[in-house]
Amino acid sequence: MWVEDWAPAAACRQAQPDELFVRGAEQNKAKQVCAGCPVRTECLAEALDNQIEWGVWGGMTERERRALLRRRPGASWRTVLENAKSAAV
Q: Which residues are annotated as a binding site for [4Fe-4S] cluster?
A: 12, 34, 37, 43
* DSSP annotation string for the chain: ---SS-GGG-GGGGS-HHHHS--TTHHHHHHHHHTT-TTHHHHHHHHHHTT--SS-BTTB-HHHHHHHHHHSTT--HHHHHHHHHHHH-
Q: Which residues are annotated as a binding site?
A: 12, 34, 37, 43
Enclosing domain of residue 60: 18-88
**Structural domain contains residue 61:** yes
**Structural domain contains residue 59:** yes
**Structural domain contains residue 44:** yes
Q: Output the pLDDT for position 14.
A: 87
**Structural domain contains residue 81:** yes
**Structural domain contains residue 76:** yes
Task: Count the domains in the chain.
Answer: 1
Q: What is the pLDDT of residues 27-84, one digit of tens each?
A: 999 999 999 899 999 999 999 999 999 999 999 999 999 999 999 988 899 999 999 8
